[in-house]
Structures are given as structure tokens and as C-alpha cells.
Amino acid sequence: MSAVKGKSADPLQAAGNVYSLVMENDKVRVLDALFKPGATAAMHYHPNHVVYILVDGKFKISTPDGKSVDLDLKQGQAIWMEEGQHSAQNLGKTQGHNLVVELKK
């Protein structure tokens, strides 16, 4: 998946320090997101996606308009995220680990 005009880069390119590809087909793309303590995933774009939390963690999600939200995520939790750009930072002192399932149109 390449960068989309008007949108920031693919997470595998913009935030390769965090994201790795698990699998991809014509319906979904699954990414492993492994954040070391304090690690940041630079601004990137996802289509509509589900994030499954593998390890408890505290993250800051920031959008290009300067807004941000802190999230306390719990193991086993799943969250829906709409299409868009964001950066993410692990605010915790332990490793954060999530599975991201992007939906393809």
C-alpha cells in the first residue's frame, strides 16, 4: 500500500520502527505494532481499522490538526478507528504490543 494523495505515508514506511506486516490479501492487511517504551510511530495513514490490544499500555494518539488523546488500553480490548492520519506514542514504561487489522475497500 503506497501513500495516498493528500494523506501521509503507509505505516510500514513512515513508522517501520513500530509496524511489521503479518499478512495481506484483497480484503485485509494485518500489521504487528510493537512499541518500545517511549517509542513513537511517525504520522501515517490507515484506512478503517481495528486495533486488538495484546499487552496493557498507555498511548498518545495525535492527528495532523494538532489534537491528541491519551488512551489506557487493556489486554484483550479491541478498538475501532476510522480512516485517517495519526501518530502514536507509547507513554508507558513497558513495551506496548497491538495487532492492527486494516479493512480494504
Interval 86-95: pLDDT, tens:
999 999 999 9
pLDDT in tens, 48-73: 999 999 999 999 999 999 999 999 99
Domains by residue range for the chain, with CATH: 11-103 (2.60.120.10)
Q: What is the pLDDT of residue 27?
A: 97
Q: Is 76 exposed, middle or buried (0-12, 13-18, 19+ CB in 10 A)?
A: exposed
> Do the beta carbons of residue 84 and residue 43 sit within 8 Å?
no
pTM assigned to the model: 0.89
The mean pLDDT of 39-52, rounded to a whole number, is: 97
The mean pLDDT of 25-49, rounded to a whole number, is: 97
Backbone angles phi, psi at 14, to 5 degrees: -75, -30
pLDDT band at 8 (very low <50, low <70, confident <90, very high): low
> Mean pLDDT in the chain?
93
